[in-house]
Amino acid sequence: MTSKSSGSDLASGIDLAAVTLTLGGNQVITDLTLRLTEHRIGILGRNGSGKTTLLRLIAGLVAPDKGAVRVDGFDPFTDRRAAISALGILFQNPDHQILFPTVEEELAFGLTQQGILQAEALGQAHRALEAEGRSHWARAPISSLSQGQRHYLCLLAVLLMKPGTILLDEPLAGLDLPTQARLTRRFATLPQRTVTITHDPETLAATDRVLWLEQGRIAADGPPHKIVPLFVDAMSRIGERDADADLAG
């Protein structure tokens, strides 16, 4: 496996050290230790495996009960200022992410959170839209955008903040095929490290490393050409039985 992170910078990367997290009485992540430095990372697992919880831990949206999480050397839960600058997250449902009624306001918000004055933030938002051929979006109400367009808007908002790592939560789920193709092309060109969680193995073919998560533990870890067939074979065998009988209620 190759990495586009600097090998000389030991603080660069995502580190989990013996992380455990219990939610609603269920242990969702169990004694998980990882070091992630690759450019394209995929986290694969079926529903209920702990994928989204792992992404939220990396993003600093929740804190572990035990263990430690570090992103480029800082704790994303306690150091929110560093997290805002270093990490971007694209949720599966854009409506869980969008806060403002118009496109320009939504794009400017993250920049103001980074300390940029409102007027300059709006200027950057307008320039970004112009570069995308979407200047006419600036004052459009969010409600006028389609699901795919709102998803694209959220990605633009993340990119404006220039994070070093972008976390993608089922980024293609529920989108039509043209939108999936457009976003896939865009993700492939991003200079940032990306961490993509999904239950769809086909979306991880171009990653450098795939982690298969099962009941909060790593079932397999390696390049996609090795891990994806293992996952597909296991899911096929589970599907021949009662597919969700072994998941916690």
Lowest mean pLDDT among 5-14, 155-164, 206-215, 222-231: 5-14
Place of tokens 């633009």: 156
Q: Are 166 and 192 in contact (CB under 8 A)?
A: yes
* pLDDT of amino acid 249: 40
Any residues with CB less than 8 A from the CB of 194 and at least 6 apart, and which? 39, 40, 41, 165, 166, 167, 168, 187
What pTM, to 2 d.p., does this model score? Answer: 0.86
Q: List, for residues 83-114, the tens digit of each pLDDT value.
A: 988 999 998 888 888 999 999 999 999 999 88
pLDDT at 174: 80
What the block records as the tokens of 58 is 């990396």
**What per-residue confidence (pLDDT) applies to 75?**
96
Res 3 pLDDT > 70: no
114-130 pLDDT tens trace: 899 999 999 999 999 99
Residue pLDDT, tens place only, 149-189: 998 999 999 999 999 999 999 888 888 888 888 888 888 89
Return the pLDDT at 182: 85
Q: Is 227 helix (H, G, I), strand (E, B) or coil?
A: helix
